[in-house]
Structure 1
Amino acid sequence: ATPPPAAKTFTTGVAKGRDLLDTAISASTLDDHDLAQLSVSSIAGIMQNIPGIRSETSDIDGFSAITIRGLPLAAEGSKFLQLQEDGLPVLEFGDIQFAGIDQFLRADLTLSQVQAIRGGSASTFASNSPGGLINFISSNGETAGGTVQVSSGVGHDLKRIDFAYGSPLGDGWRFHVGGFYRTGEGPRAIGFNGFSGGQIKANVTREFEGGYIRLYGKYLDDRQPNYGTLPVTVGGTNANPEIGFLPRYDIREQGYLSPLTRSYAEVDANNRPILIDAADGLAAKVAAIGLEAQFEVAGFTVTNRFRFSDVSGAYNDAVPFVTAPAPFFRQFGGPGAQLSYAAGPNSGQAITDARLLALSVRLHADLESLDNATNDLRATRVWELGEGKLTTTAGLYTSSQDVAMFWNFTSTLQDLAGGGRNAPVTISTATGVPVTDGGTLAYGFAVGLPFNVYHNLYDVNYDIVAPYGSVNFQIGKLAVGASVRWDKGDVAGQIFTSSFGGGRPAFVPLDVNGDGQISVAESRVATLPLTRPVAIDYDYGYLSWSAGVNYRFAESLSAFARYSRGGRASAETAIGAEALDPITGAPRDPALKVSIVKQAEVGVKFRRDGLTAFLTGFWASTDERNFQIAANSSGQAVVVPVNRTYSAKGLEFEGEWRRGPFTLVAGATFTDASIDEDLIDPAFNGLTPRHIPDFAFFARPSAEWGNFTLGAVVNGTTESFAQDTNQLVQPGYVIVSPFVQYRPAQGLTLAVNAFNVFDELAIVSLQAPAIPPSGITNAQVMNGRTVTASLRYSF
């Protein structure tokens, strides 16, 4: 039976774990019971069920854009929101290009609960988390028992096995171990196994009087397809667009790669020819070991968390840069040019009609090292002070984050057959001379941008030291608290890029495919000046603070108010070719180093007789100096500088109601966001930031009768703007995902989850700022109807 709501101790982003009604913060918790009802498995998908969070995802771990309380989505990742695993950050920075935090984090049966704090003291109890903090907490064997679960896609190929087991061992010892493995093509047709891999996690704990010590480890080796932006049709008007699909190309069900297009030739970080297998998709490898301890010393509770993570991986994507009828692409071969298939069953066959083809930008990022070592030491003591209690905390956080990675971009041409059958296309001159190599038009950008742009090699380290402290005084029903943190960072390393000039030319003739000849495409190959690194050497510092007051009117009712100021250091976006001064080794604009977020909030919390209701009003503002992927008037992707201030205000609601067999969990966020001032283009002043809807909500109704549980997860959002120009409206959506669980015997559960059962077209992002003349633009969408069946045995 479902347990009734109770006073849950909240421990993330605060000095001492407390009942939420006793804290001046806005926070949420998802436990293992909640997680089992969700029809999503991705980290970003889980976060869609937390109020205040805007999480753009196709239910894969990576290529997600996550923000909070209307703060801007200038790029992918989670710039203002820190993701933690067991109290320490997965990566120090949430917006490392092509390396989103959620790419290196997985949800499985080892996940005990998810705790989220919005604003509040998050900015002072973690670095680079001014908007909020989400902590994914692992089980640690407090209760004896285990679970084995096998699941399979219904109507699509994706098989998975999960397991978890933990138990006390006696004499204060306990342990927990678990993980998963999965394999299959996935819910979108690509013609090969897009998902392959898994993880294993384990911990052992020794409890003693006044504390404990825990050793834990994790090994993750997993890859998944990148469901990025794909072409759709757009008609109607900017205010009321009609989104459709190209013939036979419903992107809810179709991927972009195929066995014929998954591999292509390029050059590596040493300017040597290589063959890239884009089937690696979003690949993640993490080997982590950590130590957590808590003990009592002279009345102080001392806690230390340490973890070292060996992190690497790859990012692969294929983005349609130009989608057009076949004759359009003959211009690249000159007068009389010819088109034909370069591979597959139609290899050599001429293309003489006007079928749609796509010139793609193939993105490959080799994430060689994102290793990080973090340590958080704090001491807390509760002092009796008159009739009240004074809680003091002092802490020191240290971190070392590597960013060693290489990017390259390739331009290829393919058709849009769909069904995992897309094939590369050859362009030849009128005399039959190939302009492409097996579908590759350019080893770099074919149109619009210089070849050397975004062909970079980074090798940088970020060292962070952050002392922090807090005080909280509680007397009777009143509690008043404040906290402060000083972050100091040192950045050192080097970048290799021809964008600064000097050294090796930006592009050279190179036999990339190894056939002994220099083709047209191989006559200009983007390379790196490996003998001319540009040094990076700068530091930064910022102060964060927060103060709040909480009043508990009664056992069931409390209210709070809080104001916070938090900082967020920039990662490699501050040292790219567009931003770095190669002479000083620092960003040309010092303001690029740190963004400041200010938040005010006031809320009321109620919990009694099966009903829980939290309501919070908020105001948030930030300055943002960044580079943003936008689109020009024809819908093609462009990179634009951003120098703005933003603000947002709104309301967050989260509630839970239980009566007999019925349960309803719901949350909603109303947001009014604005670009307050654009220092580059004042025409943006007063406009609404892209992808920020006025209203978003979720609901989880369920009912339990004996051995049956029925329910649904409903996620919805109103319309927003596709781009900051506020022209093209991005339609809202409502996704209904029902689930049924049947328990035929003790410990045995059969379940069916149907994500998006009504096959709603849920637009995550539209690329074009307005309806383009071609009537075609790129869009990222959520999966269509996706059914999964599972069998779970708990013992």
Structure 2
Amino acid sequence: MNRLRGFLPMIGPPGRRAACLAGAILSGAGAIPLMPAQAAPAERSVQFDIPAQDLAAALDQLGRQAGVQILYPYGVAAGRRSTALRDRVPIRMALDRLLRRSGLEIVRITDRLVILRAAGAAPPARTITRPAPPRPAPAPSSTRPPIPPQADIVVTGRASQAPLDETELSYAITRIDGPALARKGPLSTADLFKQVPGFWVESTGGEASNNIRSRGIPTDGYTSVALLEDGLPVQYDGGLGYLNTDQIYRIDSTISRVEAVRGGPSAIFMPNAPGGSINFVTRTGLRDPGYTLSATAGSFGYERVDGFAGARIAPNLGVSLGGFYRQADGLRHSGYPADRGGQIRAGIDYDDGRARLSFNVKRLDDRVILYLPVPLQFDGSGNVRAVPGFDPLTDTLAGPDEVHVPFKTATGPRDFDLSQGTRSRITFYTMSGRLALDDRSAVDITARLRTGSTLRNGLFPIGRPMTGSDYLASVMPQLKAAFPGTAAATIRYADTGTPFLPDSNGNGLVVGANLLSVWMPMTEFIADARLTRRFDRWGHHDIALGLTYDSARLDFDRTMGTVLLDVLGQARRLDVAAVDRNGREIGALTDNGFVRYGSLFDAVSLRSSNLALYWADEWKLAPRWRIDLGGRWEKIRIGGGVEGSTPVNLGDAATLADDAVLTGDGVIEPIRRHFSGFNWTAGVNFRPAPSTGLFLRLTRIARLPSASEFNAYPNRTDEAVTPITMAEAGLTVRHRRWTLSAVAFGTHFARLPFTDYRFDTASNTYVERTSIADTSTIGLELAGHADLAGPLKLDVQATLQDPRYRNFSYIELAGGLPVTRDVTGNQLIRVPKLSLRVTPSLSLFAGRLRIDTEFVRYSDRFADIANTQRLPPYALINMDVNAKIADRLAIALHVTNLTNALGLTEGNPRAGSFDAGGMGTSYFLARPEFGRTVRATFSLSY
């Protein structure tokens, strides 16, 4: 240890020595007559081999390898993560690398001695003889042992902010630090979560509107996994209909690290989080001063600029500014700019050791395309193949023909613009503060106000592709009934009138689609207040008592029209006309490609308020034993109103498209519902050695209904509190050259409503049915890292699970008669039994070049609950190359789906989630992985 060890005998016992020394150095080591930082630099070059680790341990290791004594404030260095240093450089340069954005600066450096202090702690001038007042530091607990040098400090999902090693946790966590974020360069928020074991992620929707599931939990979107920023939910209810949290969240250079809690205590501290919580920790000018600038270019016209600037403008005050701007044609050829926009964040932070206050404003103004299922076919052997003329890796049905389309409604024409995609204009105002009441108690308060709106325009394919002749045969009875004298029907392109022939698009196929527009303005206020206290009785306790309040107002305006398209990349609208025996047109099924205007209408105003009280106790019962207990009581009130709808005829006798346009009837049906429930969790950790941890945990959760579940049916009675039981048993082992985490889990949902939304192509409207059922899943999560021979490293993540429906039956018509189908024991839809990710990496030239090759494998899945439509297994290969060109300049190359593998993540939900119709038909719709993409990023940091 090099922390002023020669001075320790004059101060007293070790615990008091550390506290006194930290206070003395934090008060400003420059108060004693030291030479300036530039005096007598040590230019002697040394070969360093220091891994990324706790900064205090890294400084100790640097001192040993350089043969110098390093004196530094341990309280500032402990808990901060250092970068790896494997190079032959002068001692001064080595220190500069380790101390970058660390909060420490060099006071004096010689060939034998280095003195560091907290950045900005020096007095303003050398003539000042009275030292600055010391910065208070929390007194260490006499019962808390020091954190091991290799400890990973965890803060998410805990009652206390005191340092705690991962082997002491009674739950599983995945950490992704800043360097790892830069190495991976995820295309979307959901893409990042693929690194978390136990998570099944569908990121094929684009940069937003993706799905995530954890440990076999049977709900989509973000209904069971909470997205947090600095410990507070980005959106209290992440599963609001058509408003997933990832639609309003983007990763950029203002993010310092990510901590993902899998299961565990998430449901105690956070709402709607039985599957886990993912916390994005932001950079600040006080904690992470420095500057970064990066530029990215890649496939499909991808261009992006990220930047961050953080500065400490006073010893206890920092400011920061950062964000990104991106434009791209999209990961599929849509024929128009698909993604364009960005966000900016400005913040100010104060921390004097006793009081901490932070405020930041973030503005998101971004639009991204929503990718939906594409046409595919089964060959004679049941294998998935491309439809002729349509590339499932790079094509999409969306195209310029759906941009600025006249859309008839009962209140007048509207402009449907598919190029708007998911357009989010959101402003977040976040304030957080912490006040230490004494050396054992503190109060934390965090609040966030969110204002703005999201517009979501999408093209949703329906039914199945079929030949033009088959489609005409299916609508002939309808045309003959509407237009007597109909002898035949024709198809033509709506824009040019050119006939649609079997060879017009290379396959002769047509498909239906819904042009859907949803506008959702939302205002939300979230506040969390927490009292934490430490005390010693029958061991050591860190307790937390908290209160969370949320108030949200959301409007939901939805309009939809159904069109007919040809099956082609950038599909075009088709018209169908009825002709008499002389070939003369006597009427039309469609109008400007629309089979039905107003095939869906919703006008909803929602209000919700949530109040939650929670408590947690981290109880260190003995040196090797810890017990974690927690409880949460929560209540939700849902109010508002839903306007009823009625079909109207707009009066155009030449077409059937406007005969039943749904519009508001002016009758508002009120929503008045409230639900409450209690969650509890108990976990125990046994640590037989500092490098090994074992844990058990049992959690019981009462999942409350979401406000948006009453959008269309304000009086529905099937919604109720869902009981969830989760059990976990884990092992964590940390070795000098390898680490291993293994978690066995079981999850049981009881009395969960499952609703089948199926679009009926005969009536051009949605029909639905609901069944109440249970689910159960058992599984195993594995995550490991190994330093192999020489520069070779290996990371492995695997999830093996058996997700099943229980007590599940539903009724359907067969031959006009009701038949009960029992699907108990079937596999949960879209969730694979096996997810495997193996990443060997090669580190060369003292760590200046790193090559990661990622091999991913998913087992087969099913698109429907009846398990009739199988989604085949598939494998992907991705690659990341990161090179350090100079001390401050780096380049990264990211390649996804290197081999252009065709892998399906989901089928077509609009064909029916209960029974999608099996695999007996040749053509179907599904959403595949994107084709190969390449991106290069140049980064400058200081």
TM-score (norm: length of structure 2): 0.77
Q: Quick one: higher RCO (CA 8 Å, sep 6+), 1 or 2? A: 1
Partner Cα separation in structure 2 for residue 510 and residue 98 of structure 1: 32
SS of 1:337's equivalent in the other structure is strand
- Please say if 1:109 is aligned against 2:245: no
Partner Cα separation in structure 2 for residue 637 and residue 235 of structure 1: 30
Q: Which amino acid counterpart does residue 12 of structure 1 have in structure 2?
A: T
- Partner in structure 2 of residue 521 of structure 1: 657
Structure 1: unaligned runs, 5 residues or longer = 446-453, 499-504, 512-516, 582-586
- Partner in structure 1 of residue 425 of structure 2: 285
Q: How does 1:206-221 map onto structure 2 within 5 Å?
A: 206-221=350-365
- Partner in structure 1 of residue 714 of structure 2: 580
CA shift at 1:37, angstroms? 2.3
- Partner in structure 1 of residue 838 of structure 2: 699
Partner Cα separation in structure 2 for residue 260 and residue 113 of structure 1: 42
User: Structure 1 residues 438 and 282 mapped into 2: Cα distance closer, same or farther (>3 Å)?
Assistant: same
Partner Cα separation in structure 1 for residue 290 and residue 423 of structure 2: 32
SS of 1:77's equivalent in the other structure is coil
- Aligned to 1:483, which of 615, 630, 655? 630
- Please say if 1:672 is aligned against 2:781: no
Confirm or deny: 8 A CA contact 1:232 1:776 kept in the other structure: yes
Confirm or deny: 8 A CA contact 1:486 1:543 kept in the other structure: yes
- Partner in structure 2 of residue 739 of structure 1: 880
Partner Cα separation in structure 2 for residue 532 and residue 632 of structure 1: 26
Q: Which amino acid counterpart does residue 676 of structure 2 have in structure 1?
A: G
Partner Cα separation in structure 2 for residue 687 and residue 424 of structure 1: 39
- Partner in structure 2 of residue 353 of structure 1: 502
Q: Which amino acid counterpart does residue 216 of structure 2 have in structure 1?
A: G
SS of 2:934's equivalent in the other structure is strand
Q: How does 1:213-232 map onto structure 2 within 5 Å?
A: 213-232=357-376
- Partner in structure 2 of residue 533 of structure 1: 668
Q: Which amino acid counterpart does residue 407 of structure 2 have in structure 1?
A: E
Partner Cα separation in structure 2 for residue 46 and residue 316 of structure 1: 25
Partner Cα separation in structure 2 for residue 276 and residue 632 of structure 1: 23
Confirm or deny: 8 A CA contact 1:125 1:468 kept in the other structure: yes
- Please say if 1:145 is aligned against 2:290: yes
Q: Which amino acid counterpart does residue 143 of structure 1 have in structure 2?
A: D
- Aligned to 1:683, which of 814, 822, 825? 822
Partner Cα separation in structure 1 for residue 591 and residue 190 of structure 2: 38
Deviations 1:13-35 (A, max 9, x none): 21114322112111111112122
SS of 1:690's equivalent in the other structure is coil
- Please say if 1:604 is aligned against 2:731: yes
Partner Cα separation in structure 1 for residue 411 and residue 194 of structure 2: 42
Structure 2: unaligned runs, 5 residues or longer = 1-49, 55-149, 481-486, 811-819
Partner Cα separation in structure 2 for residue 236 and residue 116 of structure 1: 44
User: Structure 1 residues 272 and 19 mapped into 2: Cα distance closer, same or farther (>3 Å)?
Assistant: farther
User: Which structure dedicates a bigger proportion of its chain to strand?
Assistant: 1
CA shift at 1:735, angstroms? 1.2
- Please say if 1:551 is aligned against 2:702: no
Deviations 1:400-448 (A, max 9, x none): 1223111122111122332x4x222122221324432221111144xxx
Partner Cα separation in structure 1 for residue 758 and residue 657 of structure 2: 28
Moved more, 210-219 or 165-174: 165-174
User: Structure 1 residues 214 and 250 mapped into 2: Cα distance closer, same or farther (>3 Å)?
Assistant: same
CA shift at 1:204, angstroms? 1.4
User: Structure 1 residues 594 and 361 mapped into 2: Cα distance closer, same or farther (>3 Å)?
Assistant: farther
Confirm or deny: 8 A CA contact 1:232 1:243 kept in the other structure: yes
Provide the aligned length of Structure 1 versus Structure 2: 753
- Please say if 1:66 is aligned against 2:115: no
Partner Cα separation in structure 2 for residue 375 and residue 573 of structure 1: 21
Confirm or deny: 8 A CA contact 1:207 1:213 kept in the other structure: yes
Confirm or deny: 8 A CA contact 1:605 1:615 kept in the other structure: yes
Q: Which amino acid counterpart does residue 668 of structure 1 have in structure 2?
A: A
- Partner in structure 2 of residue 391 of structure 1: 542
- Partner in structure 2 of residue 402 of structure 1: 553
Q: How does 1:639-788 map onto structure 2 within 5 Å?
A: 639-658=768-787, 661-678=791-808, 680=810, 683-706=822-845, 707-767=848-908, 769-788=916-935
- Aligned to 2:612, which of 463, 466, 472? 466
Partner Cα separation in structure 2 for residue 265 and residue 568 of structure 1: 43
Q: How does 1:18-33 map onto structure 2 within 5 Å?
A: 18-33=164-179
CA shift at 1:221, angstroms? 0.9
User: Structure 1 residues 783 and 257 mapped into 2: Cα distance closer, same or farther (>3 Å)?
Assistant: same
- Please say if 1:164 is aligned against 2:308: yes
Q: Which amino acid counterpart does residue 667 of structure 1 have in structure 2?
A: Q
Partner Cα separation in structure 1 for residue 267 and residue 928 of structure 2: 32
Q: Which amino acid counterpart does residue 521 of structure 2 have in structure 1?
A: S
CA shift at 1:363, angstroms? 4.1
- Please say if 1:119 is aligned against 2:263: yes
User: Structure 1 residues 519 and 661 mapped into 2: Cα distance closer, same or farther (>3 Å)?
Assistant: same
User: Structure 1 residues 557 and 258 mapped into 2: Cα distance closer, same or farther (>3 Å)?
Assistant: same
Partner Cα separation in structure 2 for residue 523 and residue 633 of structure 1: 16
- Please say if 1:319 is aligned against 2:460: yes
Partner Cα separation in structure 1 for residue 374 and residue 245 of structure 2: 23
User: Structure 1 residues 637 and 62 mapped into 2: Cα distance closer, same or farther (>3 Å)?
Assistant: farther
- Aligned to 1:36, which of 163, 179, 182? 182
Partner Cα separation in structure 1 for residue 874 and residue 401 of structure 2: 34
SS of 1:609's equivalent in the other structure is coil
Q: Which amino acid counterpart does residue 588 of structure 1 have in structure 2?
A: T
Confirm or deny: 8 A CA contact 2:670 2:714 kept in the other structure: no
- Please say if 1:295 is aligned against 2:435: yes
Partner Cα separation in structure 2 for residue 708 and residue 92 of structure 1: 41
User: Structure 1 residues 287 and 510 mapped into 2: Cα distance closer, same or farther (>3 Å)?
Assistant: farther
- Please say if 1:256 is aligned against 2:397: yes
Structure ID, larger Rg:
2
Q: Which amino acid counterpart does residue 102 of structure 1 have in structure 2?
A: D
- Partner in structure 1 of residue 4 of structure 2: none
Confirm or deny: 8 A CA contact 2:591 2:655 kept in the other structure: yes
Confirm or deny: 8 A CA contact 1:38 1:713 kept in the other structure: no
Partner Cα separation in structure 2 for residue 569 and residue 292 of structure 1: 27
Sequence identity, in percent?
A: 23
Moved more, 34-43 or 675-684: 675-684
CA shift at 1:771, angstroms? 4.1
Q: Which amino acid counterpart does residue 454 of structure 2 have in structure 1?
A: G
CA shift at 1:458, angstroms? 1.4
- Partner in structure 2 of residue 416 of structure 1: 567
Partner Cα separation in structure 2 for residue 4 and residue 770 of structure 1: 54
CA shift at 1:9, angstroms? 1.7
Partner Cα separation in structure 2 for residue 507 and residue 633 of structure 1: 19
Partner Cα separation in structure 2 for residue 552 and residue 631 of structure 1: 55
User: Structure 1 residues 356 and 507 mapped into 2: Cα distance closer, same or farther (>3 Å)?
Assistant: farther
Q: Which amino acid counterpart does residue 804 of structure 2 have in structure 1?
A: S
- Aligned to 2:594, which of 404, 421, 440? 440
SS of 1:521's equivalent in the other structure is coil
CA shift at 1:236, angstroms? 4.3
SS of 1:527's equivalent in the other structure is strand
Confirm or deny: 8 A CA contact 2:436 2:443 kept in the other structure: yes
User: Structure 1 residues 442 and 357 mapped into 2: Cα distance closer, same or farther (>3 Å)?
Assistant: farther
SS of 1:328's equivalent in the other structure is helix
- Please say if 1:456 is aligned against 2:602: yes
Partner Cα separation in structure 1 for residue 289 and residue 793 of structure 2: 27
